[in-house]
Structure 1
Amino acid sequence: MFSWLGRTSSSYLRPLGRYARMSKDDDTADDGLVWCRDLEKHSCGEFSFAVVQANEVLEDQSQVETGHGGTFVGVYDGHGGPEASRFICDNLFLHLIRLARENGTISEDILRGAFSATEDGFLSLVRRTCGIQPLIAATGSCCLVGVIWKGTLYVANLGDSRALVGSLGRSNKIVAEQLTSDHNASLEEVRQELKSLHPDDSHIVVMKNGAWRIKGIIQVSRSIGDAYLKRPEFSLDPSFPRFHLPEPIRRPVLRADPSICTRVLQPSDKFLIFASDGLWEHMTNQEAVEIVFNNPRAGIARRLLKSALNEASKKRGMRYNVMKKLGKGDRRFFHDDITVVVVFLDHEMLEEKISVPELSVRGFIDTVGPSNFNVLQGIDATAKSIN
């Protein structure tokens, strides 16, 4: 139903071969749907970034923004189409920077404000365009954001993408700690939350096609977009049966307020993993941190991706070397779009405040440009004017 998007977006959804430093003996080297940047610098260490496309049109959007004293990671797992995830990638970080400069700090409230402004902006876009493109009301996106600033990590999340920290525990063993909550109706606590918020709706969660779904349609309970599940004015008529509700909603059935975790980074915290749910379908948290801990940094995001792709193909009785010859769209029968960002934490850099370039890296897009991550300069200027 979104076939026209494939024609308009193909020009910038090409894998980034000339930037991806792939080893010839790596199975992903000739997978035309894999993009990666094996190792780059950020404000307190290095990061590795990899994406694989499965859908006909890539619905995962992602970015890493680096700057003096700060690092921003965003993973946006779209559904129903790429419009919402693209909108988030173009707007959420800019809202964060604007609010941080206006308020002179980064905080949980600033993150909430950036999410709220992005949600409002996308719903306004839906309102302006749904007359000619009604299905935009059914597009939405999970949204996972991490910000490192002044030695503190802020993580905000909507949906079922996931962030972990790998920390050294006793006996020098790496331990996975999940920093986010999965907002997915497959979890009992999420179903109970939905039922308590909608006591008069016996169909708020329904088992359909072997999975618990909200209103029998969607699994994630929080998102940006999905306007038809938040505002009665955006209800879709029966000509779109996949997204049609038997009766108009009386109140939003999905939420757009993120769960937020704040963590002062400790010397035992060695790295962070941010990934869309396509990765977590094929490996556990502990398996992921052990892969990162026990292998070289360069290409580690691609290594995680390859592990997930091997597992996905094995579940279908096929080898990855055969599966990778399938084109986009056909690959969706084996795995989802997957985005992985691994952020290494070099604590001596946090203390020394080593300068790194302000760069904006977008996943799967073959351009790297300057970032607007000048938060510290803006905040410093605000502080000086107050003093």
Structure 2
Amino acid sequence: MLSELMNFLRACFRPRSKGYVHTNSDSGGRQDGLLWYKDSGQHFNGEFSMAVVQANNLLEDQSQIESGCLSSHETGPFGTFVGVYDGHGGPETSRYITDHLFQHLKRFTSEQQSMSTDVIRKAFQATEDGFLSLVTRQWPMKPQIAAVGSCCLVGVISGGTLYIANLGDSRAVLGRAVKATGEVLSIQLSSEHNASIESVRQELQSAHPDDSQIVVLKHNVWRVKGLIQISRSIGDVYLKKAEFNREPLYAKFRLREPFKRPILSSEPSITVHQLQPVDQFIIYASDGLWEHLDNQEAVDIVQNHPRSGSARRLVKAALQEAAKKREMRYSDLKKIDRGVRRHFHDDITVIVVFLDSNHVSRASSAKFPNISVRGGGINLPPNTLAPCGTPTEAGNT
């Protein structure tokens, strides 16, 4: 039965090869079917590994690593910026964040002449404001862009300090060595904003005491207003500005009652950590990974293998689990094309950043070439509709 369904879906979604554009640009990564990867690279504080596997017709996950000068001025500060942006409803918001968030961060770092939580917060807000302006301009021609949004996970290492900022349910996990035993334990660094978490539901109910339907259990999944799982994001303007929650937006996104205050927030949760010599690496990943692996499983995979290819190894482990859950072989899952693949797993992005203590503590004035890498994938040419495409339900599922 399952094989017959797969054959039918595969025929519907069979790619038109001339429509593919491989977008590796200057990233130096490799494409293997729906998997893009860069097994090893150097950043200001050590080495890194990246991998992305596409499941949607259009890749909604975007990611980047920027290393070297974190300011518009060449005098620094220096360090490493990592971003994982898990889009939903389409790729527009995650792509916008990739193009603008780091540039805003550099501008605010220059103004304050240092890295800080305030700089990061301002960069997030400027990105949110910029995307709102884009939606406002495009609304008359492309109203559905109001229902496109993205989670946003950012890590910044500068001067021996690690800043983690998050909106949504992507996750950053630290691998920390225990000197006495030699074990490497997982420590979750990010706070998540998903209605499946009781504290998030309580936060929403406290912020909206007059709305008994602020969170709704729908098909056994908690959703904000019955629409979306995450409570914080960039974009999703239709749940932040009432003037965009109306026709010609699709009826399934429109609320019956007008709202007076934003339902979703763009305020990131930010934590600050002083890095220690026992801190080995950080795994940044979209929730597509964490649906299949827990924190310690992911840390063990990185710790027990060579550094090179760490991100690709994590993606493969997640795909093997996804295949096992559907009682199929990993080799068969790999044959399923984008679009259809979304029935088996989400887009998955993983960036593993290794921390070399001699580099983490290096002087902020140290010379280091600026590095810029963006996660790749397969995209259709501009203005080309994906074959057999259907509207994506808003929210990370």
Q: TM-score range by the shorter chain?
A: 0.7 to 0.9
After superposing on structure 2, the runs of 4+ consecutive aligned residues of structure 1 that deviate more than 3 Å are 10-16, 18-21, 351-356
C-alpha distance in 2 between matches for 1:86 and 1:352: 32
Residue aligning to 1:58 = 59
| Pairing partner for 2:373 from 361, 364, 374 | 361
What amino acid is the match of 2:183? K
Aligned AA for 1:281?
E
Match of 2:242 in 1: 232
Which aligned pairs between 1:165-204 and structure 2 lie closer than 5 A? 165-169=174-178, 170-204=180-214
Amino acid at match of 1:284: D
Q: 1:133 — aligned with what?
A: 142
Match of 2:181, SS state, is helix
Cα contact 2:68–2:370 (8 A) shared by 1: yes
1:251 aligns with 2:251: no
User: Within 2, Cα distance between the matches of 1:350 and 1:156?
Assistant: 19
Task: Tell me the equivalent position of 1:326.
Answer: 336
**Number of residue pairs matched?**
351
Instruction: Report how far residue 349 of structure 1 moved.
Output: 1.7
Match of residue 40 from structure 2: 39
Superposed CA offset, 1:170-205 (max 9, x none): 411111110111100001110011001100000000
Q: CA deviation at 1:258?
A: 0.2
Does 2:328 match 1:344?
no
Q: In 2, distance between residues paired with 1:242 and 1:210?
A: 18
1:246-300 superposed Cα distances (whole Å, 9 cap, x missing partner): 1122211100000001011001100000000000000000101111111100000
* Number of the residue aligned with 1:381: none
Contact 2:35 2:377 in 1 (8 A): no
Q: Does 2:292 match 1:292?
A: no
Deviations 1:224-266 (A, max 9, x none): 0000100111113376132121112221110000000101100
- More helix by percentage: 1
Q: Which amino acid letter does the alignment assign opposite residue 87 of structure 2?
A: G
Matching residue of 1:384: none
- TM-score, structure 1 as length reference: 0.87
Q: What SS does the aligned partner of 1:322 have?
A: helix
Question: Is structure 2 residue 159 aligned with structure 1 residue 158?
Answer: no
What is the Cα deviation at residue 19 of structure 1? 4.1
Rounded Cα–Cα distance in structure 2 between residues aligned with 1:304 and 1:363:
15
Counterpart-to-counterpart distance in 2, 1:81 and 1:352: 40
Q: How far apart in 1 are the matches of 2:21 and 2:110?
A: 31
- Provide structure 1 residue ranges, at least 5 long, that are not aligned to the other structure: 1-5, 22-28, 367-387
**2:22 & 2:214 partners in 1: Cα distance?**
37
- Which of 86, 94, 99 pairs up with 2:95? 86
Q: Deviations over 1:108-167 (max 9, x none)?
A: 000000000000000011011111100000000000000000111111000000001100
Task: Note the C-alpha offset of 1:356.
Answer: 3.4
Q: Provide the C-alpha distance between the structure 1 equivalents of 2:62 and 2:285, rounded to a whole number of angstroms.
A: 11
AA of the residue aligned to 2:206 = S
TM superposition score normalised by structure 2: 0.85
State the secondary structure of the residue aligned to 1:165.
strand
Name the counterpart of 1:369. Answer: none
For residues 159 and 19 of structure 1, what CA distance do their matches in structure 2 show? 29
Whichever residue aligns with residue 241 of structure 1, its letter is A
SS of structure 1 residue aligned to 2:302? helix
Aligned to 1:266: 276
2:276 is matched by which residue type in structure 1? Q
- State the Cα distance separating 1:209 from its structure 2 match: 1.7
